[in-house]
A and B are shown apart, each in its own frame.
Chain A
């Protein structure tokens, strides 16, 4: 695990785009619209994109947004929080836009010395608009980096967002994500948070219901081994009536890995008819792995349905025996059980091509194989079990 002594880190500066040009992230059979951030800096040049999306959508730096799209920024009262920040990513989806093609933010880190990265993004999904967004964090080498990303996402009335977060950085690096979702009336949010690789990962996820009849379905999976540390701090604020939220987080911990899940549900006084559920399930594969799971329900209204549950356990021994009694080896039985445990998290995901890919990554991860994403040493587009290793990329 990377020990975080910030003195040794150099603040990242805007890198040379050429250094990143070879990086691509191809999800087999899936076309996405790419938005590139290198070492935390947004690069407007989208020549990697084979597809174009409607011109009404604004994708630019926050600085450009302040200059050119001042009214949007003002309407969200964002000015105070962003003035200091010249860089950063701004995405604005106007009203009535449904994108079949997912947007994909590629946050690529290439550190030549230990660097610290701070990034800020603002994403606004307009009324009656429906978007899917895949957000990938990748490191292209094994050098140390420390990232803090702050993202504010607004879902306007009747909008929907399916948000996939793939954390796949090297184990010398750390990442803190602070993601705030604000939902207006009748908005639908689904998140899939996958923490697969990274030395020290901390995800602060906040959902705030500022309108009625909205839904948030928050799913998370962490697969950690060696000395990895993953914290998920999920906080849902039911400020208005008739909203529902689900938190479903699962993890498998091997070796001396540690994980923490803190799930906070807050139901305010006027938020009647709230439904809020929370579930955190963990499998520990060794005696040294540690998980700390903390539900925290703060309820100021009597007319609500809330539930929470947490389990920490080993693989189901009776299921293991059952499978082995059919001739399935102990190793395969473990794999099947762990894989089933993990992929349940993806059952509500709608991008099939991505689910296939994520299942493959999960499978590799469980097999203890390297599972970093594209441009790593694995040629990921071949099915699991028969993939080749690209020796030219191993250094």
Chain B
């Protein structure tokens, strides 16, 4: 059974059709890159999988671990193992990262019928996972993303991913706004979390990220459809020829 199966997915926002029949299958252990120009539906696809309700799914289905994903609430999807790394992580003044993570972990545990994580264990986990993305110890006591630089925000996304240990991670333009050092750290964080038990969908429009996180498959999302799929070399070809080549 595939981890994620998207079949003929159509969706629109305010009457405008954005996705026009997307098909995608992701198995455990795979890394998929979805590329394509801006405004062609990449982030919409990510948001629909995560459960953002401003889109109307007009046709098609999304099956995750055999379940109809579109019927689950945002938080249920998270507890089922779906993680969205945001293109623009949200600032939440007054909520510390540790309080945020503790609440998230314990609510996910509650969903699974588990007791809250003991405080000592949680603290240990925080320490351990902070190292993966070289997250400044001081940042963890600050409010979520408040006053963070672009790089710190993206590191914080990967830190959260490490804490929550998802089965399917969708990283939406994680490379945007990163300098080369931050990109290297973020990418090595993602690579460190790769295993045969989880999968990653990378959304990007630059080949650059794929030098650091090597995908198993590359797909091109163009005008609401996946128009081309192939091995990692496809990304290089795209880089060379540009998206106009697809027309």
Interface residues, chain A, CB within 8 Å of chain B?
316, 318-319, 321-330, 332, 336-337, 339-341, 343-344
The answer for the CA separation of A341 and B93 in the assembled complex, in Å, is 8
Closest CB pairs A-B (n = 8): A340-B94, A327-B78, A324-B74, A327-B108, A326-B104, A322-B90, A324-B75, A340-B95
Q: Does B89 contact A (CB under 8 A)?
A: yes
Tell me if A327 and B160 are in contact (CB < 8 A).
no
1/0 per residue, CB under 8 A from A, across B166-183: the answer is 000000000000000000
Contact of B52 among A321, A332, A340 (CB under 8 A): A321
Tell me if B94 and A327 are in contact (CB < 8 A).
no
In the assembled complex, the CB of B54 is this many whole angstroms from the nearest CB of chain A, namely: 9
- Enumerate chain B residues within 8 angstroms of A324, measured Cβ to Cβ: 51, 73-75, 78
Q: Give 16 A-B contacts (CB < 8 Å), ordered by A residue.
A: A324-B51, A324-B74, A324-B75, A325-B51, A326-B100, A326-B104, A327-B75, A327-B78, A327-B108, A328-B103, A330-B73, A336-B92, A336-B95, A337-B92, A339-B94, A344-B93
Besides A322-B89, A326-B78, A326-B104, 9 other A-B contacts (C-beta < 8 A): A316-B92, A319-B92, A321-B90, A325-B84, A332-B107, A336-B95, A336-B103, A340-B94, A343-B94
1/0 per residue, CB under 8 A from A, across B81-100: the answer is 00110100111111100011
Q: Does B50 contact A (CB under 8 A)?
A: yes
- Enumerate chain B residues within 8 angstroms of A340, measured Cβ to Cβ: 92-95, 143
Tell me if B92 and A322 are in contact (CB < 8 A).
yes
The answer for the CA separation of A343 and B93 in the assembled complex, in Å, is 11
The answer for the CA separation of A322 and B52 in the assembled complex, in Å, is 10
The answer for the CA separation of A318 and B90 in the assembled complex, in Å, is 7
The answer for the CA separation of A326 and B78 in the assembled complex, in Å, is 6
- Enumerate chain B residues within 8 angstroms of A339, measured Cβ to Cβ: 94
- Enumerate chain B residues within 8 angstroms of A318, measured Cβ to Cβ: 90
Q: Does B140 contact A (CB under 8 A)?
A: no
Q: Does B57 contact A (CB under 8 A)?
A: no
The answer for the CA separation of A322 and B93 in the assembled complex, in Å, is 13
Tell me if A327 and B99 are in contact (CB < 8 A).
no
Tell me if A336 and B160 are in contact (CB < 8 A).
no
The answer for the CA separation of A327 and B117 in the assembled complex, in Å, is 15
Contacting A at CB under 8 A, from B95-117, are 95, 99-101, 103-105, 107-108, 111
- Enumerate chain A residues within 8 angstroms of B83, measured Cβ to Cβ: 325-326
Q: Does B79 contact A (CB under 8 A)?
A: yes
Closest B residue, CB atoms, query A344: B94
Tell me if A319 and B99 are in contact (CB < 8 A).
no
- Enumerate chain B residues within 8 angstroms of A343, measured Cβ to Cβ: 94
Contact of A337 among B52, B84, B86, B95 (CB under 8 A): B95
The answer for the CA separation of A169 and B65 in the assembled complex, in Å, is 53
In the assembled complex, the CB of A360 is this many whole angstroms from the nearest CB of chain B, namely: 15
- Enumerate chain A residues within 8 angstroms of B111, measured Cβ to Cβ: 327
Q: Does B164 contact A (CB under 8 A)?
A: yes
- Enumerate chain B residues within 8 angstroms of A325, measured Cβ to Cβ: 50-51, 74-75, 77-78, 83-84, 86
- Enumerate chain A residues within 8 angstroms of B105, measured Cβ to Cβ: 327
Contact of B104 among A321, A327, A344 (CB under 8 A): A327
Contact of B94 among A326, A328, A341 (CB under 8 A): A341
- Enumerate chain A residues within 8 angstroms of B103, measured Cβ to Cβ: 328, 332, 336
In the assembled complex, the CB of B107 is this many whole angstroms from the nearest CB of chain A, namely: 5
The answer for the CA separation of A337 and B90 in the assembled complex, in Å, is 13
- Enumerate chain A residues within 8 angstroms of B86, measured Cβ to Cβ: 322, 325
Most chain-A Cβ atoms within 10 A of its Cβ — which of B104, B105, B108? B104
In the assembled complex, the CB of A321 is this many whole angstroms from the nearest CB of chain B, namely: 6
The answer for the CA separation of A324 and B111 in the assembled complex, in Å, is 13
Given the known inter-chain contacts A328-B75, A329-B107, A330-B75, please indicate yes or no for A323 contacting B93, CB distance below 8 A.
no
The answer for the CA separation of A318 and B88 in the assembled complex, in Å, is 10
Contact of B107 among A319, A322, A328, A341 (CB under 8 A): A328
Contact of B100 among A316, A323, A329 (CB under 8 A): A323
Most chain-B Cβ atoms within 10 A of its Cβ — which of A321, A326, A328, A332? A326
Closest B residue, CB atoms, query A326: B104
- Enumerate chain A residues within 8 angstroms of B78, measured Cβ to Cβ: 324-327
- Enumerate chain B residues within 8 angstroms of A322, measured Cβ to Cβ: 86, 89-90, 92
- Enumerate chain A residues within 8 angstroms of B51, measured Cβ to Cβ: 324-325
Tell me if B108 and A319 are in contact (CB < 8 A).
no
Most chain-B Cβ atoms within 10 A of its Cβ — which of A319, A321, A336? A321
Tell me if A336 and B107 are in contact (CB < 8 A).
no
- Enumerate chain A residues within 8 angstroms of B160, measured Cβ to Cβ: 326
- Enumerate chain A residues within 8 angstroms of B108, measured Cβ to Cβ: 327
Most chain-A Cβ atoms within 10 A of its Cβ — which of B89, B91, B95, B160? B95
- Enumerate chain A residues within 8 angstroms of B84, measured Cβ to Cβ: 325
The answer for the CA separation of A337 and B89 in the assembled complex, in Å, is 16
The answer for the CA separation of A321 and B92 in the assembled complex, in Å, is 11
- Enumerate chain A residues within 8 angstroms of B74, measured Cβ to Cβ: 321, 324-325
Closest A residue, CB atoms, query B90: A322
- Enumerate chain A residues within 8 angstroms of B94, measured Cβ to Cβ: 339-341, 343-344
